[in-house]
Every structure is written in structure tokens, then in C-alpha cells.
Structure 1
């Protein structure tokens, strides 16, 4: 409903980059540039200063940004209120999710929600938990599904369930013979770690630290943001990794990987997060409630399957 030019200008001002704004809006960079040019021609003044690879707002740009935020907020609220009067949920829902949740939990979650609310269009961005948390806090996303406990004041969090962490390795790896693995058992074996900001990386480092083991004592095989690549390297015998039980269940069942519990046991939380001060539409609230219920239900199914 709101002027598309204002939406694009708001994104560029917020991200400080035409490229990042284009990625956020699912547009091409030339299309973003065209919308900004149209808006500047409409006001007959320059709104952005572009120089030395940086973008800054002119005084006119500051004024337009202040009004754009109010207009876009009211437009979103209007769309939501009218939709609620029809008693049928509809519209776009911007969701951020960690890579592990995207790999296992999200497909079932979206399938169930789409069957119940077919007019809702989920728009999903996959990244690590820290990146997703930051984007929800910045109000770039309506809702986030992450594996870390958020302590940001600008975020409302709901603890939905938890998933056990396990060591994964090939079936002929020396670690495969263990029924449980302590931090000391893992010393000397090449480790396939996750990328910075990944919740499982953080928990793995805490696991070793609690046992008095420095990460320098664990030979590093690779640092990866892709769960699929982590599992592939582990299955090929390149090293061990730590992953959530739900994400490896099928691989273990089909004999591609071994999954061994940690000692002491460790769990990753499944958290649903929402911007605290963002207008809360019925769509956002309904999806958050549904996600919490489904996470809890699926976690029980994972427990029963073992």
C-alpha cells in the first residue's frame, strides 16, 4: 500500500548500501537506484550523498526518512487491520532462521502453516543465529527462529523446545566406537567447526572450555556455514563435527553418519524471537504461537524416534 519509492529509500538509508537494500528487498541494484532517482526527482532535491563507497543522508533525506518510517509503519498496521477484519490471515511474513532450523524444522513448520493459512506468503532468509537475531532486533525481519538465548532488550523471546547436540563422524572413524564422548576423547581429532555467529559453534566452544580444553588443542579441519557441507565432510571421514540430533537423524538411520551423544549431555535451545517494539499483527502473533507449538511437537517426535 505504501509508496514503493519510500520503501526502497527506507531500506537504502537503513542498510547504508544500495546492494544490501536490494538483497533485503529482493530487487536488483539498478531497480533500487531507479526508485531512489524517482523519489529525488519527485522532491526535486538530493536525498543521499554518495561518495568514497559510503552513503549518507542529506538534511532533506533525514526529514524524508523520519516521515517514511511513520508512513510505512501506519501502512503495515492498516494492511494488518483490514486483513484481520476478513477473518483470514494473509500477507507477507518475513522470517529469519538459523541454518540448522532451516535444514530440518522449517520445512515441516511452513508446510503446516501454509495448509492452515494458504494466503500467507512466507519470505525466508537463512543465516546463522547471531545474524538472524541482529536482523530481528533491527526490525528487518518480522520473526526469527534461532538456537541461542537472546538477551537483547529490543527482542521478545519464547523458548519453544530444545534439541540434543551430538558428535557426528563417518561410520569407520575412530570415534564411532564410543557410546558417549567427553571433551577429552575429542582432543587430537580434526574438528569440522561452524561459522562465527553460529549457535552450535558457541555451544561447542563452551563444552570444551568447561572441560578445561583450549580450542587450540583441537585440530581444525574447516569452518563452515553450510550444514549440508559439514555432514558431507564428516561422512567422508575428514573429521568430526557437532550437530543437532534432529538434523542428523535421517543420515544416521540410513547409515551415512554415526551420531554419538556428548558427556555431559548438551542441548541447543529452539527460540522464537520477535521485535519487542514492532507493531504486532495477528499474522506475526499467530505464526509465533504456531512455531512454538510445532517445535514442541516435533521435538517430542524426535525423542520418540530414538
Structure 2
């Protein structure tokens, strides 16, 4: 439904190149150039400056881009809402998720949802829980799957399930012999922490603070955004980390890591967040409901298998 000229202009502005925009849109470069020329003639002003091998937006171009994003977004939403009237969910859904959920929960959720609604196109953006929450609040994302959310008024939260947090370390590490580990037990050992904004990092910080352990008492070994890298350093004996049970289950079963529960036992929530809208598309509602249901089912299955 959206004006093709706006679609082409948006692609050029986002890719910063006529060539890359043409590849993205499956068009020839002359066709892209023609569409931009038509749009500039329509507004009777230059929208793009082309110089020194670089494309930049003029002031008018920045204004047109802002409106183009809104118009294209509304066009996609219109397509989705009309398709809902046929009782067949279809269209694009923009999903944000934390790194742990993306790796160990989301694939199973997406597989089941795509089998049920094959015409739905999920687009997934992975980041920290904080970054995902902010993007949902700003309506850059339709839905977020994260470990912990704040009380932003513009966000609607659904706590679906929880996953236990465990200390992970090399099997011959001194901490591996404990049955439970308190915050005081961990003092003095190198700690491999998550990056700022990570939900599990926030819970770990609260775990130490509640026990009266100051940040200065924690021996920080590394601060990483990749759980795979964290597990590799822990398995190599460089320190201990805190991770969710589902994320390290296979590593423990195969003997690469040892896992010890925290004392008191500590859990990370699994939350589904959506913008607080009066009118929400059935596609977003259906995915949010399905994600909550699957989080619960997977968590219950994990509990039974222990």
C-alpha cells in the first residue's frame, strides 16, 4: 500500500548506498535512482547529498525519512490487521530478546509458532534485557522476551516462568565441591560477570548486595556480553560465573562445567513485554500468549527432568 518511492528512499537512507538499496529491494540501480529523482521532483527539493562516495540526508531528507518510517510502519500494520480478518495470522513481527533467551528458549518458541502460523515473518533483534525493554517502550519492537523488566509505565509485563541461577565453574575448581554457595562463599574467587544491562547481572548484583557484599569485595575477572565466551572462560578455569540452568545443562551433562545452586536459591524471571496499547494487533497478542505458554511448558518440563 505504501508509495514505492518512499520505500526506495527509506532503503537508500538506511543503507547509505544506491547499490546496497538496489540489492535489498531486488531492483536495478538505475530504477532506484529514478524513484529517488521522482520523489525529489514531487517535493521540489533535494533529499540526498551525493558526494565523496557518501550519501547524506539533507534537512528535507531527514524530515521525509521520519515520515516515511511512520508511513511504512502504518502500511505494514494495515496489511497485518486486514489479514487478521481472514482468520489467518500473517505479517511481520519485530521481536527483541536477551542473549540467553535467544539461544536457549526462542528457537523452540519460534519453531512452534511458525508451524502454527507459517505466513508470519519473525524479525529478531538480540540485546541486553535493558536495551530490549527500552526498544519495546519506544515501539521500535512489537514484543520483548527478557529476564527482568522495570516498571516503565509504557510497558505491559507478563511474568511467564522462571529459571534457576547456578554458579558454574570448571569441575575441578574449589567451588565445585560445595552443595550450595552463599555470597560469602564466593568472595575471593575470580568472577566472570555479564555486561551492564543484562538481566542476570542485575540479579547477581542484588544477590551480593542482599548478603552485604560490596562490589569492591568481588574479584572481577572479566565482563562479557557473550554467554558462550563466559562458559568457555569458566570451563578453562579462569573463574566462576552465574548462569541459568537451561543455558548450561548440556555443558554440565558433558562434563565441561560443574554447576552449584546458590544459597538462598535464586531465580531469573522469564518475562514477555509489549507496549501498553489500547489497540493491539491480534498477531502481537497471539505471539505474546504463545510465548508465555511455551515458557511455562518448557520450565515445567525442565523441572520434571531434574
Compute the TM-score of the two structures, normalised by the length of structure 1. 0.84
In structure 2, the residue matched to 1:291 is 291
Taking only aligned residues, the RMSD between alpha carbons, in angstroms, comes to 3.0
Q: In 2, Cα distance between the equivalents of 1:11 and 1:274?
A: 27
| Partner residue in 1 for 2:59 | 58
Give 1:149 shift: 2.1
Distance 1:223 1:143 in 2: 27
Unaligned runs of 5+ in 2: 25-31, 51-55
Number of residue pairs the alignment of both structures matches: 293
Q: Is the 8 A contact 2:90 2:121 kept in 1?
A: yes
User: Matches of 1:253 and 1:261 in 2, distance apart?
Assistant: 16
State yes or no: 1:170 paired with 2:185.
no
SS of the residue corresponding to residue 189 of structure 2 reads coil
> Residue in 2 aligned with 1:15?
none
Q: Which residue of 1 aligns with 2:199?
A: 199
Distance 1:264 1:8, change over 3 A: farther
Structure 1 residue 203 displacement after superposition = 1.0
Residues 49, 58 of structure 1: 8 Å contact kept:
no
- Aligned mates of 1:222, 1:261 — CA distance in 2: 21
Who is 2:269 aligned against? 269
TM alignment of 1:52-131, pairs within 5 A: 58=59, 61-62=62-63, 64=64, 67-68=67-68, 71-131=71-131
**Which is further off, 168-177 or 156-165?**
156-165
Separation (CA, whole Å) in 2 of partners of 1:143 and 1:270: 13
> Matches of 1:81 and 1:95 in 2, distance apart?
18
Shift of 1:232: 1.1
Higher mean alpha-carbon deviation, 85-94 vs 257-266, is at: 85-94
Q: Determine the C-alpha separation between the residues in 1 that align with 2:153 and 2:100.
A: 25
Tell me, in whole angstroms, the C-alpha distance in 2 between the residues paired with 1:90 and 1:243: 36
SS in 2 for 1:166: strand
In structure 2, do the counterparts of structure 1 residues 150 and 179 end up closer, same or farther at CA, with 3 Å as the change threshold?
Answer: same
Provide, for residues 198-220 of structure 1, a one-character-per-residue CA deviation record: whole Å limited to 9, x for no partner: 11111111111111111222221
Per-residue deviation at 1:117?
A: 1.2
Give the drift of 1:277: 3.3
Partner Cα separation in structure 1 for residue 279 and residue 72 of structure 2 = 11
Take 2:4 and 2:163, find their aligned partners in 1: how far apart are those partners?
41
Which of 259-268 and 79-88 deviates more? 79-88
